[in-house]
Amino acid sequence: MMTDPIADMLTRIRNANKAGLDKLELPASKIKANICRVLKEEGYIKSFKIAAKSPSEIVIKIGLKEGAIVGLKRISTPGLRVYKGYREMPRVLSGLGVSVVSTSAGIISSRKAASLKLGGEIICNVW
């Protein structure tokens, strides 16, 4: 049983990036797909696609950009949730990175959340 599937996803991306792989697969969920969408919009990954390996197993296939992701860090964990208002949105590496935020408008980047004046749960930081 996995207690934190988002941390597992970030670790798989981090490990594949360090190993120099250009693609990886991981178990699918809606929140993971939305995090991948934000990473694609911000230019950290090439592509992602939801595919069915079998009728009972659905995976997300991620195409990585070489050298685009330097680091990933999980901020809000199941044991300690971290919420911030739009005025307190974290600046990752003085604006070079981005935070992924879960808001009432869905999962979006911290830049978009600040421009829409939305606060929420800080899921992770990417730089």
Tens place of pLDDT per residue across the chain (127 aa): 789 999 999 999 999 999 999 999 999 999 999 999 999 999 999 999 999 988 899 999 999 999 899 999 999 999 999 999 999 999 999 989 999 999 999 999 999 999 999 999 999 999 9
CA 86 and chain centroid, separation: 19
pLDDT the model gives residue 28 = 96
pLDDT the model gives residue 2 = 83
Interior CA angle at 31 toward 25 and 33, to 5°?
Answer: 45
pLDDT the model gives residue 104 = 96
Cα–Cα distance, 80 to 67 (Å, whole number): 31
pLDDT the model gives residue 80 = 97
